[in-house]
Amino acid sequence: MTEIQIFQLFGLTFFAIGIGMLGNPKFIKNITQELDKSTVGMMYGGLISLAIGYFIVAFHGAWGGGWSFFITIMGWLAIFKGLGLLMHPVGMLNMYKKIISKKSHAIVIAWIIIIIGLLSLYFGYIA
């Protein structure tokens, strides 16, 4: 996967998630409630996040100039998220719940995710 394709994938994914969080905040709360009931869902989420992070770091682990370091940072964040979900799922779920418990926090997180998505789309399609 090329750097441009990674930016395109990040951009589409993050932008869609951020818009979804703004447009339907109850959906995100429902997801955390479902994850609270599903240890298998937490495990699969951790495995998927760990695998995505690993492949990004293994095949793109570049700290070089430009914005390519952003992809490496996102890969490492995915690894840490995956490890957290696998090793301490209750703590991770409690952190998610705390972040979205206040509407203002959820809105700020949604906008951060949208901005990351827009930056990624810019580097994937325009730059």
User: Which residue is associated with the tokens 């301490």?
Assistant: 88
The tokens for 11 are 């951009």
Q: What confidence score (pLDDT) does residue 33 get?
A: 78
Asked if 78 contacts 50 with a C-beta cutoff of 8 angstroms, the reply is yes
How far is residue 86's CA from residue 40's CA, in Å, rounded to a whole number?
10
Domain assignment of residue 18, given as a range = 3-126
Q: What confidence score (pLDDT) does residue 115 get?
A: 97
User: Which residue is associated with the tokens 């690993």?
Assistant: 54
78-113 pLDDT, tens digit per residue, is 999 999 999 998 898 888 888 777 788 888 989 999
Count the domains in the chain: 1
Q: What confidence score (pLDDT) does residue 75 get?
A: 92
Among candidates 35, 16, 52, which has minimal Cα distance to 96?
A: 35
* HSE-up (13 A, CA, CB side) for residue 68: 12
